[in-house]
Amino acid sequence: MKGFKDFITRGNLIEMAVAFIMAAAFADVVKSFTAVIMDLIGKLLPLDPGTAFSSVAVGGISIGAFLTALFSFLIIALVLYFAVITPYEKYKQLRGIDDSKAKSETELLTEIRDLLAGR
Residue 58 forms beta bridges with which residues? 61
Domains and CATH numbers, the chain: 2-117 (1.10.1200.120)
* Tens digits of residue pLDDT in 64-85: 888 888 888 888 888 888 888 8
* Tens digits of residue pLDDT in 93-104: 888 877 666 677
Tally the C-alpha atoms within 13 A of residue 68's C-alpha that lie toward its C-beta.
Answer: 16
Q: Are 114 and 108 in contact (CB under 8 A)?
A: no
Q: How far apart (Å, rounded) are the C-alpha atoms in residues 51 and 76?
A: 24
What pLDDT score does 75 carry?
83
Predicted model pTM: 0.53
Q: Which of 111, 103, 83 is nearest to 22 (CA)?
A: 83
